[in-house]
Chain A
Amino acid sequence: MQEAQSPRGAFLVLLALRDGPKHGYEIAAHLKERSGGVFGLSFGALYPILHRLEKDGLVSGSWQEVGPAKKKKVYALTRKGEAALGAEKARYLAFAGALSKLLREA
């Protein structure tokens, strides 16, 4: 649940949406699969993150009809979200580079 409050949770969601719109279950499954289970976001953490990002204009949610009386909410990155993802990605790359250097020296 700490992911819901941490910037890392938001970053992971933005990353998951980078290659196209997804609904909540797809986002959680995508992160779990691509990170080999290291960065699994529980739904408990996912919903508050998604709704916060939507309120902040970093992602946009829209309802898609998927059959009679069935629909799902699909989230997509907005331009503001793409910019935020780019900035956060650069920050994480710098952090990872620095950490990797330190670990090599250890």
Chain B
Amino acid sequence: MASATQGIAGGAQAPGGPFREALARFERELDVPYPERAELLDEIASDLEAAYAASRARGLAEAEARAAALREVAPDAPALRALAEVHRPAARRAMERLPRAARALAEPAALFLPFALVVFLLASEVPLVLFLREGGAATVLVLLLGGLALLLNLEKAFRWFVLRDHSPASLAGHTPTPLYLAAATALAGLGGTALNAYVVLARAGEGLIPPEALPVGLRESLSCAVTGLALSTLSVLLHGAVAAGRRALRLPERRCPPAPIP
């Protein structure tokens, strides 16, 4: 199905040409989550086209027919507010019912609790802490970078798919930062492992580590790289899932709909 969003961007929907600017303005002004917003724009576009065709059939010139169609079909500010009310997501309604103080706590709690639960389960099921300690001090940096990448993706997913906040300010958060952080996590992990291996080999060379303990030392130094690559992969996968979710919801790829051409 061609979307109005695509229509505005690429003229896929028929009236994308004559009504392009008006549709772009509705897209900015509608406080309706996607994909409902995209479908609503498609609907307005098809009604604009029908009104335009009817005006042309009555003998109106092209510009007059376009103006008449916009007068007849274009939703006004109260209509946009009424549409926003009809399509307000259940999660946002529930949040809005909470007192302000409770709402301020509920959003971070809803975001951090699943994250904390996963960390707790991993820590209790596998000797995670021992494994992380084998990686040395560099693991702290790896955990900070990887954790931040994961949190940024989780925060986006929560805002866009649970709260369904698709306001321009919210959509502006669609940046590749988590990917850069994932790359930094992998590099920090590999760097930490290289540094640990260098130290192990240097100590072995000085006779501080017996030869039979060398494989153990080298294996332990791998912990940092394993942690970094695992967190990095998880972040990239989560980023991909969020991007796929955006496409499924027909969220615009741009950071926000374009400003009208003066």
B245 interface residue per 8 A CB criterion: no
Minimum CB–CB distance from B84 to chain A (whole Å) comes to 9
Q: Do B46 and A72 touch (CB < 8 A)?
A: yes
Complex-state Cα separation, A44 to B73, whole angstroms: 7
A: interface residue count bin: 20 to 34
Known A25-B51, A51-B83, A72-B50; contact A44-B13, beta-carbon cutoff 8 A: no
**B54 partner residues in chain A, CB cutoff 8 A:** 25, 29
**Chain B residue at smallest Cβ distance from A44:** B79
Complex-state Cα separation, A52 to B82, whole angstroms: 10
Main secondary structure of the interface of A (DSSP, over half): helix
**Chain A residue at smallest Cβ distance from B73:** A43
**B74 partner residues in chain A, CB cutoff 8 A:** 43
A45 interface residue per 8 A CB criterion: yes
List B residues 75-107 near A (Cβ within 8 Å). Answer: 75-76, 78-79, 82-83, 85-87
A–B pairs, 13, beta carbons within 8 Å: A1-B76, A4-B82, A5-B82, A25-B46, A25-B51, A28-B72, A43-B47, A43-B72, A47-B43, A48-B82, A69-B13, A70-B13, A71-B42
| Contact code string A15-45 (vs B, CB < 8 Å = 1, else 0) | 0000000011110110000000000001111
Where the two chains meet, the residues of B that have a C-beta atom closer than 8 Å to any C-beta of A are 1-2, 12-14, 39-40, 42-44, 46-47, 49-51, 54, 72-76, 78-79, 82-83, 85-87
A8 interface residue per 8 A CB criterion: no
In the complex, given contacts A55-B86, A73-B42, what are 17 additional A-B residue pairs having Cβ atoms less than 8 angstroms apart?
A1-B82, A4-B82, A24-B47, A44-B75, A44-B76, A44-B78, A45-B79, A47-B43, A48-B86, A52-B86, A63-B42, A69-B2, A70-B13, A71-B42, A71-B46, A72-B46, A72-B47
Q: Do B82 and A25 touch (CB < 8 A)?
A: no
Complex-state Cα separation, A55 to B1, whole angstroms: 21
Main secondary structure of the interface of B (DSSP, over half): helix
Complex-state Cα separation, A24 to B74, whole angstroms: 12
**B79 partner residues in chain A, CB cutoff 8 A:** 1, 4, 42-45, 47-48
**Chain B residue at smallest Cβ distance from A5:** B82
